[in-house]
Amino acid sequence: MTTSAKTTTSKAKTTKENAPISNTPISDNVTETLHQSVDTLGEHAANAETRIRETASHSSETIADKQIQLKEYWDQSNVGKYAKENPLATAGIAFAAGMLLSSFLRKK
């Protein structure tokens, strides 16, 4: 007597995205909800990253513009001219101001 072994292939049920569905609808719903939440979170994170990068780029440009304006202002000011013409006196004044300020701020 010959017996033939039947081989059965069972195909799992699948959703629209070809994700397997188990026989537990509650866990399937939870899994689907969690996947949607992760996708939504990923989209929000991508949007936030884009806004942060745009803001950082804009801030960098603004700071560069302000730096140029301040340099021009410093070069045209009387203090800037004096500092360039008398660097030793400027250093002495800065040292004296620092010593005076530190003596006022020193705790006794």
65-88: pLDDT as tens digits: 999 999 999 888 998 888 889 999
Percent of the residues in the chain that have a pLDDT greater than 70, as a whole number: 79
Distance CA 74, CA 84 (A): 11
Distance CA 34, CA 91 (A): 65
Query: What is the per-residue pLDDT across 14-30, written as a single tens digit (0 to 9) for each?
Result: 455 555 556 788 888 99
Q: How far is CA 12 from CA 19, 30, 38, in A?
A: 9, 19, 25
Q: What is the mean pLDDT of the chain?
A: 83
Distance CA 75, CA 83 (A): 10
Give the pLDDT of residue 74: 86
Q: What is the 3-state secondary structure (H, E, C) of the chain?
A: CCCCCCCCCCCCCECCCCCECCCCHHHHHHHHHHHHHHHHHHHHHHHHHHHHHHHHHHHHHHHHHHHHHHHHHHHHCHHHHHHHHCHHHHHHHHHHHHHHHHHHHCCC
Q: Would you say residue 34 has pLDDT above 50?
A: yes
pTM: 0.45
Give the pLDDT of residue 16: 52
Q: Would you say residue 1 has pLDDT above 60?
A: no
Give the pLDDT of residue 35: 94
pLDDT band of 9, cuts 50, 70, 90: very low
Give the pLDDT of residue 89: 93
